[in-house]
Amino acid sequence: MHLPRPVRWRAFASSHYRPFQAIAVGQAFTASYASDALFVPLLLLLGAPAALVVLVGAAPVGGAALQAFAPQILRRLKGDLRGLTVALALAEVRGFVLAAIVAGVAAGVVGHLPGIVLISVTVAVGQTAGVLSASNITLWTAVVLPDAERRLVGPRMGALTMALSTILLLPAGFVLDAGTQAIGMWAYVAFYVVGGMASTLTPLAVARLPRPGRVLVAREKAGGAEVPPGYRRFRDASVVASFGQGLLPALSLYALHVLGMSAGFAVALSGVGAAGALAGSLAAGSFLFGGSASHVLRASFVIRAVAGVCCAAAIPANPLAPVFLLVGSALFNGGGNAGVLATNERLYRLVPAQARVHYQSRFVGATAAAAGAGAVICATVLTLVPPAAWAAYVALYAGSALSRAVATLRSEVSASWSSPSVPPADAPVPGSGGS
């Protein structure tokens, strides 16, 4: 059993990793106060249809397919991965733009329809750039940092982000309900301003990443390089699971639109999800230091399938429907975060270091395209059915669970839960003081 070890956290807390710590804090504020947790109830408050909310929320996932062009872009930039990541990270301060738009709506200067359009565009474009920025930060750790440091930094960045997001979101639900009753939409403005201010940490910290931060991106030979064994099956299972991710309507949308819960409950739902993500990050991050990534990935598919079943059971006639949604949120995010860590680790163990830019870009492009296709189906279904047709949501949640079950069956795992391709679990880690 691989438990979280204080020595690794002490190593990550060293000044050497200060930029990564600041990035994690900035991303926590962006994820909490400038993303789904707030824009879903806000758009519904302004009168946006459920299908539009789904498409806006899914745009960043589908837009991440642009990562497939990373090798060509990096060649044009002479391998300046650091500069590209800094440029994309500027989108993390979109809280200021959202605050200005909502302030205009609250003051009566901007109408509800133009407000919906402006908020939707800002969220879709800003979060897409944010997703690409996060993907490039992950790629940066994979191609610039030694593997031992990558295994130390990545999981702890995720855990720090989720821990802070939990702290930020759980009380925010109560504050938002009380605030909207007292000052209306100005409560959203306040959250966006706070989020924008704290999110400036991300681009500032990315700019402080160790130099030069350049990577050599060679042109592929005609016919392509030989595909590493196991890569295709790993990619195919991940594509199936990503399609299920796209099928998934936001749980807060269902809570607000069908169950009639408050905006505060929707935000608290995201807080519970962040707590689940924290648990997934801590458990998977510690295990993957010496454990099998393929086993963790398959387990994450199972957890997310169970989460889909929980959400499908949250029908209006069920008096425990809100509880089922909370459990589903924790499981989706816990399994999801563990799955992301396992996916990255599995990918970087399968492909040689010099090919990581190409394979990471293709992999993200394929999975993002699958998620985008699922989101289009989800939005189409919600457009064609009546606004509060709970059966449509249940079918989509069940479809998402089914896709994760298929991914579980299609995934290939190693013979052992331990990985021979990584150092022993008790090997010294950078910054820990070990020799």
Report which residue type is found at 148: A
Domain boundaries along the sequence of the chain: 6-216+229-410
Asked if residue 49 has pLDDT above 50, the reply is yes
| Separation CA 342–CA 292 (nearest Å) | 8
Burial of 374 (0-12, 13-18, 19+ CB in 10 A): buried
| DSSP characters over 304-361 | HHHHHHHHHT--TT-TTHHHHHHHHHHHHHHHHHHHHHHHHHHHHHHS-GGGHHHHHH
| Separation CA 105–CA 46 (nearest Å) | 9
pLDDT at position 301 is: 95
> Percentage of the chain with pLDDT > 90?
37
74 or 402: whose pLDDT is higher?
Answer: 402
pLDDT tens profile 393-413: 999 999 999 999 999 999 888
Report which residue type is found at 302: V
pLDDT at position 402 is: 96
Asked if residue 365 has pLDDT above 90, the reply is no
| Separation CA 191–CA 172 (nearest Å) | 9
* pLDDT mean over 187-214: 87
| Separation CA 219–CA 214 (nearest Å) | 16
Burial of 391 (0-12, 13-18, 19+ CB in 10 A): exposed
| Separation CA 412–CA 327 (nearest Å) | 28
Asked if residue 378 has pLDDT above 60, the reply is yes
Q: Is residue 81 within 8 Å of 214, Cβ to Cβ?
A: yes
| Separation CA 111–CA 120 (nearest Å) | 14
Q: What is the dihedral of CA 342, 347, 350, 352, to 10 degrees?
A: -130
End-to-end CA distance of the chain: 24
Residue 128 — pLDDT band, cuts 50, 70, 90? confident
Could you tell me which CATH number the domain at 6-216+229-410 has?
Answer: 1.20.1250.20
pLDDT at position 428 is: 45
pLDDT at position 58 is: 80
**Gyration radius of the chain's alpha carbons:** 21
pLDDT at position 426 is: 43
